[in-house]
Amino acid sequence: MTRGSTGRSGRRPGSPDTRGAILAAARECFAAKGFDATTVRAVAAAAGVDAALVHHYFGTKRSLYLAAVDLPIDPGPILERILDVPDDELGASIIRHIVPIWDSEIGKAAIAAVRATIAGPTPAAMSGMFTILVGTLSARVDVPAGTGVTRGSLVATQMIGLAMARHVIGVGPIASMSVDDLAALVGPTLQRYLTGELPNG
């Protein structure tokens, strides 16, 4: 963490506008390049501060991302609850924890925000959420080793489509179905993706 020339813009390290400038720069970088391609160093440069200061304020890139997108819900504890079941109940657990969040007022606002980003030139800002959610899930189900990312990504395909069908497009029975019925119908799909035998992994 060398101090670059961009770290000398005159902002006082402790001032509130430094924190705000870092968050604004992070939003721009994540939106333009996505989560994976954005570095803490690039955010620091864009904000005109030292990378060490970004780490001091926000910790990891993941924490910086979560602060920048300013989610109304912290995904950490939700992920913990989802994963707090035996492996063979993970599929239903995902449905039972995620769908009620979508269905809540907070969830509806979040889905509206996501819809707005989909029309943009690139919904790269969303990519961080997938990296975090899919990454956590993938680590849990990486059996045989190396299949975890594919498994987590397949779960993402089903859950993205379920959210779209239930809350954006309004596909007939899906929009009005109970969480129990969705867990029974869609849970086994997720379960197979997570722990089933996959052809060529």
Q: Which residues bind its own copies (CB under 8 A)?
A: 115-116, 118-120, 123, 126-127, 130, 134, 149-150, 153-154, 156-166, 168-174, 181, 184-186, 188-189, 192-193, 198-200
Which is nearer to its own copies, 61 or 167 (by Cβ)? Answer: 167
The structure tokens listed for 19 are: 């924190």
Burial 139-169 (b: 16+ CB within 10 A, else e): ebbeeeeebbebbbebbbebbeebbbbbbee
Closer of 58 and 193 to its own copies (Cβ): 193
CB 57 within 8 A of CB 22: yes
Nearer to its own copies, 44 or 159 (CB): 159
- The minimum distance between CB 191 and its own copies, in angstroms, equals 11
Minimal distance in Å, beta carbon 36 to its own copies? Answer: 9
Nearer to its own copies, 139 or 185 (CB): 185
Give residue 192's identity as a one-letter amino acid code: R
CB of 193 to its own copies, least distance (A): 8
Question: Which of 126, 75, 62 has its CA nearest to residue 101?
Answer: 75
Per-residue three-class SS string for 12-32? CCCCHHHHHHHHHHHHHHHHH
Report the distance separating Cα 94 and Cα 179, nearest Å.
Answer: 11
The distance of closest approach from Cβ of residue 200 to its own copies in the complex, given in angstroms and rounded to an integer, is: 7
For helices 124-140 and 16-37, the axis angle rounded to 10 degrees is 70
Given the complex with its own copies, which of 29 and 186 has the nearer CB atom?
Answer: 186
Q: How far is the CB of 198 from its own copies (least distance, A)?
A: 6
